[in-house]
Structure 1
Amino acid sequence: MEATNTDLHFHWVEKARSNDRTAQYELYKLYSKAMLNVSCRIVNNVEEAEDILQESFVSAFKNLDSYRGDSTFGSWLKRIVINNSLNLLRKNKFDFSDVDEYGEIEENEEHNTLSDLDVNQIKLTISELPDGFRTVLSLYLLEGYDHREIADILEISESTSKSQYNRAKKKLRIMLKEKYGYER
């Protein structure tokens, strides 16, 4: 691999490739908290997210030879964490294509911000969303994936991803109104 990589932690990755335990530990310290948060937002269970985190790091270190440096190590690792988190949801029999639970959403729905609420109130309410809603909302808003990427990750259509996202926003607004009197 060429040294043209812009990854700030490139030197740790290169050392970890040769099974350097210190380098692996440094990478773990650098990324574990963020990756735990990613997994928690998807699986909505700290203990399961911790297990996924450990499995993801083991997998990443075991497969470092497949890391080509096309992206940062963090985004490569994040993809592993997301895939492992989604695999757990699938193993628990959640079907991402089952989106009709809450009916139709109007296409031109107004975009609202939630800046009037405390961040913890919003995070708590997001964690209470149904799995499909929470997953798509988290991947889109918090992880920065677009609907095409989400569709590929979840093996659903792009329109299903958009629909899930719009329904998640609507359900989130309803829940925030019921819990905190938030209305916009």
Structure 2
Amino acid sequence: MSHIIKNIVVRVEFNFLEKQNSHINQLIERCKNNDSNAQMLIYQQYYKAMYNSAYRILKDEFEAEDLMQEAFLSAFSKLHTFKGEVTFGAWLKRIVINKSLTQLKKNTRYDVVKMDVIPNYEIEEETIDYSGLNVKQVLKTIEGLKENYRVILTLNLIEGYDYEEISEILNYTNENVRTTVSRAKKKLKQELLATNTKSSLYGR
């Protein structure tokens, strides 16, 4: 019985996603014809997620808001380049991420720390057991890391980009990405352990 219910749920979710994607695709076609109503509907669908992505990198509400608006304008102006190879949301988020990183560099707050290129077999993959950890605590700890660690963990752990995608976004080599992510995770692990130790000592 349980597998029957599971199959029904999967079919319902699939049908919902198909309808949602179809609706978005229809709106995109209308946007290509400069339909302002369709543009507003697209904006309402994605603006919260895009703002969050921008804010996680810039850490400034006003900058994130301005950049998000700019990203939507940019996306609407080059919709003809959207080929549907990824979802529209993923395509739009990439624009937001790229613009956020460009702005961060302009602010001179983001200095890329050049890592020594280490052969793959020498890179020790750092793992973190997130079970039992408070999500807000993890996010807050990531925000407190130095800039290049914060940015690369935001891209990897929060935005969900893999090493190859991060390499393309940041113009790093794959080896440097793997090294930086591993070192950033190690630092995150140390900070989380220190925070939990303090909480245990002081009963918080």
Give the TM-score, by structure 1 length: 0.85
Higher relative contact order, chain-length normalized (CA < 8 Å, sep 6+): 1
Letter in 2 for 1:145: Y
Q: Which runs of 4+ in 1 moved over 6 A?
A: none
Alignment of 1:108 with 2:124, yes or no, is: yes
Amino acid at match of 1:7: N
Partner of 2:134: 118
Question: Secondary structure of the residue that 2:74 maps to in structure 1?
Answer: helix
Larger radius of gyration: 2
Query: TM-score, structure 2 length as denominator?
Result: 0.77
What does the per-residue CA deviation read over 1:68-127, in whole Å, with 9 as the maximum and x for residues that have no partner?
Answer: 222221111011001001101221232324348xxxxx8435522122221111111111
Superposed, 1:64-143 pairs within 5 Å as 64-93=79-108, 94-99=110-115, 107-108=123-124, 111-143=127-159
Q: Matches of 1:149 and 1:28 in 2, distance apart?
A: 25
Residue by residue over 1:127-149, the C-alpha shift from the partner in whole angstroms, topping out at 9 and shown as x without a partner, is 11112111111211222222121
Q: Which residue among 9, 23, 32 is the counterpart of 1:17?
A: 32
Partner of 1:49: 64
Provide structure 1 residue ranges, at least 5 long, that are not aligned to the other structure. 1-5, 101-105
Give 1 or 2: higher helix fraction: 2
Q: How many residues are matched?
A: 172
2:174 to 137, 158, 166: 158
Structure 1 47/99 Cα, relative in aligned 2: closer, same or farther at 3 Å? Answer: farther
CA RMSD of aligned residues (A): 2.0
User: Do the aligned partners of 2:31 and 2:38 also contact (CA within 8 Å) in 1?
Assistant: yes
- State how far apart, in whole Å, the 1-side matches of 2:103 and 2:62 are: 12
Match for residue 7 of structure 1?
Answer: 21
